[in-house]
Amino acid sequence: MVVDDQVSLTRIVDSIARDMGLDVKVINDPTEALDAFLSFRPDILLLDMVMPEKDGVDVLQELMLTGVDSKIILTSGFTESYARLAEDVASFHNKGPLRLLKKPFRRDHLMALLREVMAED
């Protein structure tokens, strides 16, 4: 599942993930992320950290309360302190590790990270 407010980016990520054989659900409105997550129950969540109305930390906090067992990849041009905040939220809920993919990212970096996360099972 991809949660990111940048429609053009989510189209690219969707295409790459589908080419890798993954079933993908894209959410461009972070206020819809929780409901979509609960109905889709993804193995991997690609979550943007900087979005309007609800940022990635807010979305992450909501998802953690559900007992999420998805592998999580955080994306954005975030600072280290923002990434640590998200990791603290996950750690508080005994979830981790979170992966970080800094924007802008290259196709091969995304594919390598997805392969790495999929191989963890």
Domain of 27, CATH number, reads: 3.40.50.2300
Residue 121 pLDDT: 67
Residue 40 pLDDT: 94
Tell me the pTM: 0.90
Q: Where are the beta strands (DSSP E) in the chain?
A: 2-3, 26-27, 44-48, 71-76, 99-102
Residue 97, preceding bond cis, omega within 30 degrees? yes
Q: Report yes or no on 120 lying in a domain.
A: no
10-residue mean pLDDT profile of the chain (121 residues): values are: 96 97 97 96 93 89 88 81 77 80 92 94 67
Residue 43 pLDDT: 95
Residue 79 pLDDT: 66
Q: Report yes or no on 86 lying in a domain.
A: yes
Q: Report yes or no on 60 lying in a domain.
A: yes
Q: What is the domain extent for residue 81?
A: 2-115
Q: Report yes or no on 77 lying in a domain.
A: yes
